Structure 1
Amino acid sequence: MKSVALHNLGCKVNAYELEVIGQKLQEKGYDIVSFDKKADIYIVNTCTVTNIADRKSRQMLHRAKKMNPDAVVVAVGCYVQAGKEEALLDGSIDLAVGNNRKKDIVEILEAFLAKREKAGGRESGGDVWEEKTLSRRSVVDISREEAYEEMTLLRPQDEEGIGGEAGSNVGRGPEDGDPAGVGGGAFGAGGESGETALSAHTRAYIKIQDGCNQFCSYCIIPYARGRVRSRRQEDVLREIRGLAESGVKEVVLTGIHLSSYGMDFIDKTDGDYLENGKDLRGTAMERAYLLNLIRDIAAVDGIERIRLGSLEPRIITEEFAGGLAALPKVCPHFHLSLQSGCDETLKRMNRHYTTEEYYDKVALLRRVFANPAVTTDVIVGFPGETEEEFAVTKRFLEKVNFFEMHVFKYSRRRGTVAAAMDNQVPEQVKAQRSAGLLELERQQSAAYRQGYIGNEITILTEEAREIDGKEYRVGHTETYVKAAVLAEKAGGNQLISGRAVKLLEEDILLLEN
């Protein structure tokens, strides 16, 4: 039995995909071990959303080869996809697999191992760009199609997820997660390793689409993930029913660009997407596909909560927000990508909304839902961002008053439009601006949590934790505020209601029932 160590970097979509890879390997008899142990095979699911993500990807690949020079080191994911040439020059990588072939990783790996064994352990040559070639440093490239049903969780995730640590990096550092808001998980972005499941049989992340057609000027993701491809509704529901039967009570819908779900289902030849001559692709029809999927998920027995990943402001309409509000299982927790609070900066970013439009969407959510949690992403130091533009952004963030913000320093990505722009902002200026917004985020987040004290809340219990010498069950409210109840009064994976009486720690409410 060969041992395999897995490590995930980047978004919730990556985390979901590595869970599937790990489960498939286990089914084939591989022994999954911790990444810090000696293994026969190391698989690193890489990220390329920032320069820091690239560096962390390389570091983990090098660490794997250092732990066992004789091991097969496999690089999968976006760093490989977006930077093939660099990956091929990296001597720590034995096999590189693009995003669209992750679902075939077991077959690709076994063919590679068989070929290497036949060669007596000698490195073999070959055309690294030929998809069927499985030689050393072979690159199995992305295509425009994907059999999504093959990337389906076979069972609930383990308590800490395969290759990832439990816990969240939300809003706590400029280098966590992804500035494009492409992460799609519970918060729209996930830090290194990310959160795949806080507790077994409690929460599951469900990938419903891949790819992005937006081409924001700073973002490399469309080049790494390809165009929008949506997963068939029946496949999503089949997976969720299976997870519900095994005890999962909360699902989080994830995707690279969740708001585009269904746009590739539209028949572009029959004109059905036209209304009074207006092209509805990217607006009404996509909202309908996503809302219909959510309605069907809400009808699944055993599922108590539905949480959405990162959304674009354009998807929030009276019809869409009202449709969600009519479903009690939908959590009032919305991650709306912003990136900048200055209209001129948004134009340079190729974001297709104004700050006024964005504010109207937040106001709509707050009108339809009672005290919803609204979170966002903000990039500081985008090319050409002046002190005046940054000040405008900060005032806008103060006006909106978010629950949590992911604050990122702009990262120059080769091949994007923004990389060639003039007036690149110095790193020390980015750091100063980032620090200022992180302090604002801490103040706003603390105030939002404090607002729950004295009110009735409901949590879905997850992990056991000792706080100040006492044993608690910790979980989250519908708005993803962390809260704890005495362990003697609650088991795991239970919906518990009570009154929030105080903060036990900086970000954990005490619930008394």
Structure 2
Amino acid sequence: MKGKVALHNLGCKVNAYETEAMQQMLEAAGYEIVPFEPGADIYVINTCSVTNIADRKSRQMLHKAKKMNPDAIVVAAGCYVQADTKKAEADASIDIIIGNNKKQELIPILESYRTGHQKTTECVDINHTKEYENLEIDRTEEHTRAYLKVQDGCNQFCTYCIIPYARGRIRSKKTEDVVNEVKRLAASGCQEVVLTGIHLSSYGKERPEDQENLLTLIQAVHQVDGIERIRLGSLEPGIITEEFAAAISSLPKVCPHFHLSLQSGCTTTLKRMNRRYTAEEYREKCEILRKYYPAPALTTDVITGFPGETEEEFEESRSFVDSIHFYETHIFPYSKREGTKAAGMPDQLTEQVKKERSRILIALGKEHQREYMEQFLGQEKEVLFEEQQTVEGQEYWTGHTMEYLKIAVISEENLENKRVMVQLREMIGQDFVLAKR
């Protein structure tokens, strides 16, 4: 063994995929993977920079690693060090800095450091690279479901978001490479893939000559034997057209579960955010999906307390969210991120106002979640079972329907990674539906 390595991931599903890819690279190179605890020789932290709080958590985790073993090599990778390389270079807790688009070189960078013991920085000018970093995984820790990064970068420049500066411009993995990765995952027993990206809707747009886009990618993955479900990561509303919805609804493996990022139900606020749609255009996209699917699970993100959001604008947003009837609504009080336009906007709201508006939308979201789940009671649904869990004191096998409803079943049989038809009976708590085989 070349040494014990502990990894820790912060942030989004794209980061989680990259951390898994780095772990598999380390294992293949002869390193032993250990828990993120004292005793490791090397600590690899894949950082996040989406908010000031994410930056702080990244720094805290890097400092924690150095405290756990002052002699260990601490590797800081990802968005935090990419967005503020100079601050990372001044941090004595960090030995190796690896920016985005350099994680695939982790092993040679690590070997070089172990020879010379000189603080190392490996960062490209992320805003001027067109190269897609081709990380890969052969299996997933979840066994049943694999999150698969197929796209990187963003060209949108929403006024609250630092990610285009940390991830660069849009770049996509070639469809052939995605399909080969999916085939390997299917061979390992994985039955469901979730296609993810920083701006998934722009898949293939930087290479128009290849005639690859998100729809052609989905169609290609749909042909892979062994993969029974295809789930999509966060989508921009603009990608939802009659043609797109008609095409994916004809593919039985595509799950009727769509995360359409909203951010605000008030068009005036959306304009300040530099979101490229109106509230009514967003509503039309939801109606298109409901035309092609009988009861699609629509989920979203909403920011409360964006700079300048008046009581009237918040009420407009709340009323809009109420009218759409989402399955899940992820609520985020606006968090200032230095380096973005929104951070310098006038009329910043107090934490108290942001928190109160979040509380109102969270309560509304819970009502709609229960309403959505209850419509399926009495129906038969296929569940892909994942693990055993204790829910309200009872041991269950749990898994998800195609709509991503959480299902709990009492069973003596090991149901891990099995697809089973069950009848949905009653709600258990807020999140689960009790079912019977």
Structures share fold, TM-score greater than 0.5: yes
Given candidates 247, 256, 260, the residue that maps to 2:189 is 247
The corresponding residue for 1:459 is 383
With the length of structure 2 as denominator, give the TM-score of the two structures: 0.96
Q: Which amino acid aligns with 1:511?
A: A
**Which residue identity is paired with 1:157?**
T
Residue deviations 1:448-491 (CA, integer Å, cap 9, x gap): 12222111111101002244665422100101111022232552
2:59 is the counterpart of 1:58 = yes
Equivalent residue for 1:392? 316
Secondary structure of 1:412 counterpart: coil
CA contact (8 A) 1:462 1:475 kept: yes
Q: Which amino acid aligns with 1:381?
A: G
1:275-424 alignment runs, 5 A limit: 289-424=213-348
Alignment of 1:177-192 (within 5 A): none
Task: Determine the structure 2 residue equivalent to 1:30.
Answer: 31
SS of the aligned residue for 2:354 comes to helix
1:104-503 paired onto structure 2 within 5 Å? 104-116=105-117, 135-143=118-126, 144-149=129-134, 151-153=135-137, 155-158=138-141, 197=142, 200=143, 202-267=144-209, 289-467=213-391, 470-489=394-413, 491-503=415-427
Superimposed CA distance per residue, residues 239-297 of structure 1 (whole angstroms, 9 cap, x where no aligned partner): 00111112110000000000000111114xxxx9xxxxxxxxxxxx7xx6211111111
Give the TM-score normalised by structure 1: 0.82
The superposition leaves residues 203-241 of structure 1 with CA deviations (integer Å, 9 ceiling, x where unpaired) of 111111100000111110000000000110000000001
In 1, Cα distance between the equivalents of 2:407 and 2:109?
A: 44
Higher mean Cα deviation, 471-480 or 20-29?
Answer: 471-480
The residue number in structure 2 matching 1:90 is 91
Give the partner amino acid of 1:436: I
Partner of 1:169: none
Q: Residue 41 of structure 1 aligns to which amino acid in structure 2?
A: I
C-alpha distance in 2 between matches for 1:304 and 1:41: 38
**How far does residue 147 in structure 1 lie from its aligned partner after superposition?**
4.9
Residue type matched to 1:407 in 2?
A: I
Further displaced range: 502-511 or 252-261: 502-511
CA distance 1:418–1:469, change in 2 (3 Å): closer
Say yes or no: does 1:510 pair with 2:434: yes
SS at match of 1:206: strand
Residues 1:474 and 1:107: Cα distance change in structure 2 (over 3 Å)? same
Moved more, 36-45 or 498-507: 498-507
- Stretch of structure 1 that moved more, 54-63 or 481-490: 481-490
Q: Deviations over 1:295-331 (max 9, x none)?
A: 1111111110000000000000000001010000000
Is the 2:385–2:418 contact (alpha carbons within 8 Å) kept by the matching residues of 1?
A: yes
Partner amino acid for 1:405? T
Q: Which amino acid aligns with 2:345?
A: M
Equivalent residues, number: 434
Deviations 1:168-203 (CA, angstroms, capped at 9, x unpaired): xxxxxxxxxxxxxxxxxxxxxxxxxxxxx3xx2x11
Question: Could you tell me which residue of structure 1 aligns to residue 14 of structure 2?
Answer: 13
1:83-120 CA distance string (max 9 Å, x none): 1122222221111110110111111111111111xxxx
State the distance in 1 between where 2:266 and 2:176 align: 41
Higher RCO (C-alpha under 8 Å, 6+ residues apart): 1
* Distance in structure 1 (CA, Å) of the matches to 2:43 and 2:305: 36
- Single out whichever of 70-79 and 437-446 deviates more from structure 2: 437-446
Instruction: Work out whether residues 101 and 142 of structure 1, in 8 Å CA contact, stay in contact via their aligned partners in 2.
Output: no
**C-alpha contact (below 8 Å) 2:303/2:333 kept by paired residues:** yes
Indicate if the aligned counterparts of 1:74 and 1:93 stay in contact, CA closer than 8 A. Answer: yes
Distance in 2, matches of 1:425 and 1:468, equals 39
> Counterparts of 2:246 and 2:204 in 1: how far apart (Å)?
20
Secondary structure in structure 2 of the residue aligned to 1:100: coil
SS class of match (1:73): strand
Conserved 8 A contact 2:397-2:410: yes
* Unaligned segments of structure 2, at least 5 residues: none
Residue type of the alignment partner of 1:141: V
Q: Which amino acid is the alignment partner of residue 241 of structure 1?
A: K
Distance 2:286 2:333 in 1: 24
Alpha-carbon distance, 1:146 to partner: 3.1
**CA apart distance, 1:142:** 4.5
Which region of structure 1 is more displaced relative to structure 2, 430-439 or 252-261?
A: 430-439
Aligned equivalents of 2:156 and 2:253: distance in 1?
Answer: 30
Determine the C-alpha separation between the residues in 2 that align with 1:72 and 1:484: 43
- The 3-state SS of whatever aligns with 1:320 is helix
Query: Could you tell me which residue of structure 2 aligns to residue 130 of structure 1?
Result: none
- 2:77 is the alignment partner of 1:71: no
1:390 offset after TM fit, Å? 0.6
Q: Percent identity?
A: 54
Distance 2:326 2:238 in 1: 18
CA-to-aligned-CA distance 1:28-58 (integer Å, 9 cap, x gap): 1111111123211111100010111111111
1-side partners of 2:392 and 2:366: how far apart? 23
Stretch moving more, 33-42 or 318-327 = 33-42
Aligned-partner Cα distance in 1 for 2:265–2:197: 24
Q: Deviations over 1:106-152 (max 9, x none)?
A: 11111111111xxxxxxxxxxxxxxxxxx315243354143544x01
Q: Per the alignment, do residues 265 and 502 of structure 1 end up closer, same or farther by CA in structure 2, a change over 3 Å counting? A: same
